[in-house]
Amino acid sequence: MSTTRPAIPQTARPVSVEGSGEAGGRPRVVIAVDLPEELCRTIEEAEPRVDVIRDHRLYRPRRGPADWAGDPEHVRGPEEQAAYDDMVDSADVLFSLPDVDPSALRRTADANPRLRWVQAMAAGGGSQVKAAGLDAAALKRITVTTTAGVHGRPLAEFALFGVLAGAKTLPQLTAQQREHEWSDRWEMRHLDEMTVLVVGLGGIGAACAALFSAAGAHVLGTTRSGTPVEGVDELIPADELALAAARADAIVVTLPGTAATDGLVGADVLAAAKSGVIVVNVGRGTVIDEPALVDALTSGQVGFAALDVFATEPLPTTSPLWDHPRVLVSPHTAALSSREEERIVRLFVDNLGRFLDGGELRNVVDTVEFY
C-alpha cells in the first residue's frame, strides 16, 4: 500500500511486534529512501501482513543505482519536509535511516515511540547508529540491522583485483606503457604461491577467502569466534594479527569501523609483514593507520596498496595517497552494483518474516561496539 499523506505544516535477538501498527492495525513498514516502486511492491507481495508505506514525491532523487542518500543538492520545501517527517514517524519498521542521516534517525526515534526496527542500507551500519547518539532506552527498544553480506562478492572481486594488481606490478606496467618503454623482462608473483591474510571473516571476509582460495592462495583469516569458514586454510586468533602478518604476502582488510578496530592495522602489523607486502582495504578506512601506511609504502615495506575506503571521505586532496606511485585509489565505489537494491530487499524480506514471527533477525548491530 502506497501513501499520499497530505503535505502538512548486536548479537541477533528476537524483536517484539507487540503494540505495532496504528490503533492496533497492521505493522507499518515505511520506505525512507527512494527504493524503486517495483521493489516496494516486492516487499508488499512477499509479506501481506504489513502495510508498505512510501511516497516517491518526497524522496531525494537518486543519481544512480543504490544511491540511497540521493542528490545532496535537493532540498525539500517546508511542507514537503513536514510530510516526509510525518511519514517516517508513523513507522513500526523503517527501510533505511531517514535520508541515510544519523541525526534524522535520532529525531524520529525521539518522535515515534512505536518504532521497533530500522534496516540500515550499509554493511557497516553500526557507525551510523553510533553517530545517531540514541539514548539507552531507544537502543533497547529499536533494533538496527545492516546489509552485511550483500556487498560481499563485489568487494571480494575488488580485493582479488587489488592483490593481482600488486602481484603483477600494475604500476610498473602502466608507467612503461605510458613512456612507450620496452624493458627487460621481470618476474611477477603468482597467487598460488602466495599467502593471503584476510583480516575479518564476516560476510565480506568470507567472500574474499572463497575467491583467494579458488585462485590457489593459502588463506589465513583472523577470527574472534573460531568458527570455521570455507576457503580459510588457517584460522588466526584476532589478537595474533601481527604474528599472522609475518607470514603474509598480502593483507586484505574487511573489518567494520569501531573503537576496537580503529588503527588496528598500524605500524607494528605492517612492519611484521613480509617486505613488499600488498595491502588491500575493502572494510572501513579507519582500520588502517594511514600515516603508518604511507611510511611503509615510502620505505618499500608495503609494495602496493589498493584502497577503496579511507579514514576521511572524500579523500582530502592533500593526502599523499593520491600521488603515491604504488597506490590505487578507488572512491568507495567497489561495492556499487545494480543488483544491490534487489539483494537488500531479499535480505529485508527474510528479516521481515522473522520480525513478524518474533524470531531472531540477521545482521543485528551490536550496541556496545557498534558493528
Nearest Cα residue to 125 out of 341, 368, 365: 365
Residue 47 is classified by DSSP as -
Pull the grid cell for residue 343.
539483494
Please say whether the beta carbons of 354 and 49 come within 8 A: no
- CA 188, CA 249: separation in Å to the nearest integer? 13
Distance CA 355, CA 144 (A): 12
- Is 284 noted as a catalytic residue in this protein? yes
Identify residue 227 by its one-letter amino acid code. Answer: T
Confirm if 198 and 219 have CB atoms less than 8 A apart. Answer: yes
Length of the chain: 371
| 152: number of Cβ within 10 Å | 23
Q: Spot the catalytic one: 189, 332, 346, 362.
A: 332
The Cα angle at residue 97 between residues 129 and 357, in degrees rounded to 5: 90
| 54 catalytic residue (yes or no) | no
14, 3, 62, 124: CA torsion to nearest 10: -10
Q: Which three cell numbers stand for residue 94?
A: 523503517
**H or E element at residue 236:** strand 234-237
Q: Please compute Rg for the chain using Cα positions.
A: 23
Q: What is the amino acid identity at position 321?
A: L
CA distance readout (Å), 234 to 155, 201, 218, 248 = 22, 12, 9, 12
**Active site residue: 151, 284, 324, 343, which one?**
284
Q: How far apart are CA 8 and CA 282, in angstroms?
A: 43
- Kindly report the three-state secondary structure assignment for every residue of 134-199: CCHHHHHHCEEECCCCCCHHHHHHHHHHHHHHHHCCHHHHHHHHHCCCCCCCCCCCCHHHCEEEEE
313 flagged as catalytic:
yes
- Give me the active site residues, please: 284, 313, 332
